[in-house]
Amino acid sequence: MAKQKKSVRTVITVILLFAIIAMIIFLTTYIKLNSRVKPNPPGTTGNTGGNINNEGLFCQDGDTVYFSNTLDNNYIYSMKADGSDQKLVLAISAKYLNSAGDYLYYNQIDTSTDLVYGFTGNVHGIYRLKKGTRDQTKGFDRTAAGQVMLIDDYVYYQHYDNNNGMTLYRCSTNNEDKGEVLKEIVNVCCVYNSDIYYPDQNNGFNLNVFDTDTLKSTPYLNERMYNPVFSNGYIYYINISNGYCLSRYSFDSHSTEDLTTDRVDCFNILGDVIFYQRNAEDTPALMRMRSDGSDSVMIAMGNYSNINMTTVYTYFHSYGDPMDMYRVSTTGNPRPEAFRPQIIPKKANKFTFKSD
């Protein structure tokens, strides 16, 4: 009888052990599946190419605008498109903001961020943050980096190291399939049909296309350019061969046309509106016009840079002084005003660099 009882206890123990193991496997699988980033709709980009060309300080997602607050160490803030309801999102310094689904993606530029329990460290690199949290971050690559652009379910970014210089990397939104995809300096801002059109610095800045499926680059257009951006069937660009005027190339007619006689330092486009900085020795100015080059109007005399556009306001700052920020109606009254966002007391950031 005693042996039978012992045998029964052994069987029960084994069953309980297997049940516990099965439960652990189930919970682990459930947590892993629910922590994965949901696929983005085809054709998703995390910001406009024009904003990324201007350091990606602002990023609009619906009625929410995420921005790098230059008055508060470039910490990530949010607000409504009309500028109201400003909030501190994360007290880290960041640029090249991207937004899609439940996440923000960005280049963390701060090298002395306060971490858990006051620990500080060199944590610049490419990160992901789950919206609505202050601690659910994921570090994709701890590296010196430049431009960042989310395309579908991959983050493409300019990666720098001492051996190879600046090259093109990508990483999936789930922090998988990470690595170098092209040994070139690639401006990632001009995205059309999920491919990247960029000036080939090894071939006179003529336009190449990088196929994000095959990961191959091929020549596309024999036109020397800076800072190309795709918008409504056209590539807009600074024309190196014609006095750095602003030009555009049509995918339909495969023709080019010049939009300004002005020399252009930088520009941005959203819908049917273009802002650009006119380079002129005596009359430099920030200008606004329609996307076909018509209805040109001066916004402000002087030299400005980092033009970032949203549907309500366009933001810019004095050249060389990012704390001297202004905004102007994107489509309405051309009179600019100072933009002085709130400085909100920060709470401790409870995150570390997690790369797995």
- pLDDT (0 to 100) of residue 349: 57
What contacts 289, CB < 8 A, 6 or more positions away? 259, 260, 273, 274, 276, 295, 296, 297
pLDDT at 1 over 80: no
- pLDDT (0 to 100) of residue 134: 83
Burial 172-187 (b: 16+ CB within 10 A, else e): ebebeebeebbebbbb
Q: How far apart are CA 199 and CA 277, in angstroms?
A: 21
- Would you place residue 27 in the very low, low, confident or very high pLDDT band (cuts 50, 70, 90)? very low
Q: Token pair for residue 208?
A: 């190449």
Q: Output the average pLDDT for the chain.
A: 89
Q: Token pair for residue 103?
A: 């996440």
Q: What are phi and psi of 216, to 5 degrees?
A: -115, 145
Mean pLDDT of 83-104: 97
pLDDT at 33 over 70: no
Over residues 302-347, the pLDDT tens digits come to: 999 999 999 999 999 999 999 999 999 999 999 999 999 999 987 6
The candidate with the shortest Cα–Cα distance to 196, out of 166, 231, 228, 232, is 228
Over residues 167-205, the pLDDT tens digits come to: 999 999 999 999 999 999 999 999 999 999 999 999 999
Domains and CATH numbers, the chain: 45-188 (2.120.10.30), 259-338 (no CATH)
- Would you place residue 31 in the very low, low, confident or very high pLDDT band (cuts 50, 70, 90)? very low
Q: pTM of the predicted model, to two decimals? A: 0.87
Q: How far apart are CA 80 and CA 59, in angstroms?
A: 11
Q: Which of 1-15, 117-131, 275-289 is predicted with the least confidence, judged by mean pLDDT?
A: 1-15
Over residues 270-312, the pLDDT tens digits come to: 999 999 999 999 999 999 999 999 999 999 999 999 999 999 9
DSSP secondary structure of 323-340: EEEEEEESSS----EE--
CB 235 within 8 A of CB 228: yes
pLDDT at 2 over 80: no
- pLDDT (0 to 100) of residue 23: 53
